[in-house]
Each structure stands twice: as structure tokens, then as C-alpha cells.
Amino acid sequence: MGVEQKLGNMGIVTHRLEDLVNWGRTRAMWPMLFGLACCAIEMMATQASNYDLSRFGMELMRPSPRQADLMIVAGRVSRKMAPVLRRLYDQMSAPNWVIAMGDCASCGGVFNNYAIVQGVDEIVPVDVYVAGCPPRPEALIHGIMTLHEKVKTETFKDWG
């Protein structure tokens, strides 16, 4: 006997707070404008009118990490860039998520050498890895939808 059945006749809808907050988070997740290499071209194409990330509540790419929720690491990260990436991640306000877009950001890809970080999960926690070299705009949108599915399963414990 839930509270919904008792309040059913009064026109009140109850819901779990977790679902409501996660729904809100997936509907307004602003990505950070952080293109590093060729994947950034596809990221720009995803933002442009042909694929239009605004449909997913990502109205603008924010150039400031303090206004962004989602970091799309688009491209290879060199060892020199790694501390910058970590600093930008630290400047983002919680809750924040990271998508490793493309092979190089995910695991180094074809650049298996001393200059490239072999996957950005060495320096920041990554939520979704998108395969492709570079991924099509559709593939990036698929990655964003995978992230949304992940965010929808988050609980109170994950928020803390």
C-alpha cells in the first residue's frame, strides 16, 4: 500500500527524488569546449545544426570549466597537456562527468609512444569511452546517450 494509492484521488503524483534529479541532470548537461585534436572537428560538427546537441539540452559549449558539467576529451592528450586537463577537471563544479571521445583519449589509440597519455583515465575518472578514429557525430551522440543511461542509474550514494 503505497502513498500513491492513498493520494491517487487528489491529483498528486509522487516520484523518487533520485529519478527526478537524474532526469534533470540528463536534460541540462552543458559540455566544456575542450577540443584537443581531430576529434574536436567532429565535436564541432555534432554541435552544429546538422546534428544539433541542443536537442539533448546541451545548448552551448561552455569555454569556462566552472560553467560546464561534462568534459568531452576530444583528441589525444600529450604528457604536457595532462596537468592542464587535470586542472580543468578540478575546476569543474560537481557533479561532473567525462567522456573520452575517440581512440586516443580512451587508450592512446594508434599513438603508443612516450609523448601521449595512454588513456585519460590515468588522470581523470572517465564515464564513457567512445570508439572511433574520429567517431562520427552520431557515435558521439550515442556516447552521450550511454552517459545519460549511466546518470539515470545513479543513486544518493553516488552523489555523495
Partner 1 sequence: MLRPGALMRGMWTTFKSMFEKPVTVMYPQVKRPVSKRFKGRHELKRYDNGLEKCIGCALCAAACPADAIFVEASENTDEQRYSPGERYASTYEINFLRCIYCGFCEDACPTEAIVLGDNYELSYTNRSEAIYTREMLLVPVHPSAAPTPQKVAPGTFDRPIPEMEDPD
> In this complex, which beta carbon is closest to partner 1, that of residue 43 or of residue 141?
141
40 neighbors 105 (Cβ within 8 angstroms): no
**Can residue 142 be called a binding residue for partner 1 (CB under 8 A)?**
yes
Burial of 19 (0-12, 13-18, 19+ CB in 10 A): exposed
Hey, which residues between 108 and 127 contact partner 1 (CB under 8 A)?
A: 108-110, 112, 119, 121, 127
Binding flag, residue 44, partner 1 (CB under 8 A): no
The dihedrals phi and psi of 127, each to the nearest 5 degrees, come to: -90, -45
Helix 137-152 vs helix 39-47: angle between axes, to the nearest 10 degrees?
80
C-beta of 4 vs 122, nearer to partner 1: 122
According to the binding rule CB under 8 A, does residue 81 interact with partner 1? no
- Using rule CB under 8 A, residue 158 touches partner 1: no
Instruction: Give me the least distance between CB of 51 and partner 1, in Å please.
Output: 6
Please report whether residue 132 would count as binding partner 1 according to CB under 8 A: yes
DSSP H/E element including 100: strand 97-101
- CA nearest 68: which of 99, 40, 42, 105? 99
Scanning 34-42, 61-69, 89-97, 101-109 for contacts with partner 1 by CB under 8 A, the matching segment is 101-109
Check: CB of residue 123 under 8 Å from CB of residue 82. yes
Instruction: Pick one of 28, 133, 155, 158: the residue that binds partner 1 (CB under 8 A).
Output: 133
Least distance in angstroms from the C-beta of 14 to partner 1:
29
- Answer yes or no whether residue 60 interacts with partner 1 by CB under 8 A: no
